[in-house]
Amino acid sequence: MSNQQYIIICYSTSQMLRADSLLKALNVTTDLIPTPSEYGSICSTAIAISHKDKEIAEKILMDHNFAVKGIFPHEIRKLSGLMESLKNTVISQPFKDIMKKVETGETLSKEEITYLLKVEGSEKKVLFETADRMRKEIVGDVVEVRAAIEFSNYCNKSCHYCGIRNGCSVPNRYRMTEDEIMEAVHQLHKTGIKTVVLQSGEDDYYTVDLLIQLIKRIKRETKMGITLSVGERSYEEYAALKKAGANNYLLKIETTNPEIFQFIHPDDDLQVRKQCAQWLKELGYVNASGNMIGLPGQRPEDIAEDILFFKEMGIHMIGIGPFIPAKGTPFEKYPQGSVEMTLKAVAVTRLVCKNVFIPATTALASIDPDGQRKALQAGANSLMLISTPPKYRLNYQIYSNKNMIDLDSAIEAIKEAGRRLPKYLVLNEEVSV
């Protein structure tokens, strides 16, 4: 089959990056993608190549004495028996045609993705169930739990939607000291959680040197995985932070529609944001992105483009949340995004991007108390706790009435969704696993 893809799996991220640049330098077209789960952790990145380049790639790697774990056919994920299971369901012909493609693993077009984002009634139910099955087959039943420490709410940007934007009157602006952050990190470490997300506004106070010092200390004292979410920075800064030990980077694209992007971000440029995502990927970060649902002027077609962007960029973790108006911002009177559209976007993203992490977002929990369970049953497989110390939390209201997801509410959502807690969690006696 001429369109058969192959994937090269390396022993480490640095080897993978070296192999990738070597192949690229010798004119082999490569793509970096999340490693399919059957070949290891989906947190790692694999190199995808086409059938026609397989032999030449093998030769190049051999000539340069590159030991790789292997080159495997990139199996297309199928959902066998899907059509059979739908034979007594009332669904339209166009929907059936798309489900047939999902069953055989064919790529969905923008039009088909848009169609799925618009379904209602029994088709919506089938969409959620199919995404849930894809999630189960690819990433299993365990819900990955991560936790965020929002360490500064100072921000030099004025994104129109954001409740901590520059110019917005926040009760108090705060910056946590390194010791305060470490105290919160240690508390998390005791719960067994393996990854801490360090998030802030775009605050120049935290220079790269300060962040490097913090990253090294977290690694030295806890060895936890570190996700940074500190906005747009230069290539050199991203490289230095990676070298210091940061593992993942969360920078949401928010929307791929250039006009909407411009309208909501007076200080930003979509091309720069895309460039940052590209750099993060090239530097070997586990790349996290996401979007908001229900932005002014956003249509299902725009959300379909966002999903295609996640796929084409090989994004590992995709946070999809409803837009929620924040008091005191230019968008405070705008209507909030819908729970149903957010859930459909989660489900379609699972069907299109397949082996990725999709969190049931805090934003969803903030507009629907049952939102996280619903997302976990529509394709999502991870949860993020808010672990900012209580005295600062209320000052990090990026949107109004933000839900403070703690370990107990996360455990509840996981149980209600009929899913498994990760083994690494250290639980109190009264909580039965």
Say how far apart CA 308 and CA 348 lie, in whole Å.
10
Give least dist CB 251 to ligand SAH, A: 5
Burial 325-351 (b: 16+ CB within 10 A, else e): bbeebbbeebebbebebbbbbbbbbbb
Give least dist CB 298 to ligand SAH, A: 12
Map the footprint of ligand SAH across residues 305-324, applying CB under 6 A.
Answer: 321, 323-324
CA max distance for the chain:
62
Give least dist CB 49 to ligand SAH, A: 32
Q: Residue 353 is inside which H or E element, if any?
A: helix 339-353
Of 178, 175, 162, 227, the residue nearest 203 (C-alpha): 175
202 lies in the binding site for ligand SAH (CB under 6 A): yes
**Which C-beta is closer to ligand SAH: that of 95 or that of 261?**
261
Q: How many residues bind ligand SAH (CB under 6 A)?
A: 18
Map the footprint of ligand SAH across residues 223-262, applying CB under 6 A.
Answer: 229, 231, 251-252, 254
Give least dist CB 111 to ligand SAH, A: 26
Question: Token digits for 308?
Answer: 């295609």
List 119, 162, 226, 367, residue binding ligand SAH (CB under 6 A)? 162
Give least dist CB 206 to ligand SAH, A: 11
Of 245, 256, 248, the residue nearest 223 (C-alpha): 245
Give least dist CB 163 to ligand SAH, A: 6
Question: Token digits for 413?
Answer: 């959502």
Say how far apart CA 61 and CA 346 lie, in whole Å.
38
161 lies in the binding site for ligand SAH (CB under 6 A): yes
**Which C-beta is closer to ligand SAH: that of 323 or that of 392?**
323
Say how far apart CA 425 and CA 433 lie, in whole Å.
10
359 lies in the binding site for ligand SAH (CB under 6 A): no
Q: DSSP secondary structure string, 262-297?
A: HHH-TT--HHHHHHHHHHHHHTT-EEEEEEEES-TT
List 292, 347, 351, 364, residue binding ligand SAH (CB under 6 A)? 292
Contact residues: ligand SAH, CB under 6 A? 161-162, 199, 201-202, 229, 231, 251-252, 254, 292, 321, 323-324, 326, 363, 398-399
